[in-house]
Amino acid sequence: MDFNEFVKQNQAVIRFVEEAIPGSIDKYVGTLDYASARFNTILIKLSQEPLMADQYNNDVQECFNAIQSFYNNTRKYVQAPYILKPVYSFLLFVIGTTGIPKIKFLLEKINN
């Protein structure tokens, strides 16, 4: 597992959060901000302990995929016409309730 690739690909998410205009997408931007911060903390802790990194390899990949999926759908939500916004809102809700909590649980596992 190469943490550098995760960090490089996560830079687009961080840039999106920094450049977000306050308004209707605040809850999505906040979710991305917290998720990427927790994910970066996970990467730091796992880079310090290589044996633990091998143990949680699949979990880290799942968390990364959840962040990327949430990010891509947030971008689509921002650019979507008014009629499609509920569809993307529902997709973001599903990802936010099933994928994003895995990041918090993984961080708690690593801290213990």
pLDDT at residue 29 is higher than 90: no
Closest residue by Cα to residue 67 from 1, 24, 4, 11: 11
The token pair that represents 106 in the structure block: 């993984």
What confidence tier does 25 reach under pLDDT thresholds 50, 70, 90? confident
Q: Quick one: DSSP state of residue 77?
A: H
pLDDT of residue 24: 64
pLDDT tens digits along 90-101: 999 999 999 999
Closest residue by Cα to residue 68 from 103, 110, 112, 25: 103
The alpha carbon torsion through 100, 101, 102, 108 (nearest 10 deg) reads 130
Q: What is the share, in percent, of the chain residues with pLDDT greater than 70?
A: 98
pLDDT at residue 69 is higher than 70: yes
30/41 Cα distance (integer angstroms): 17
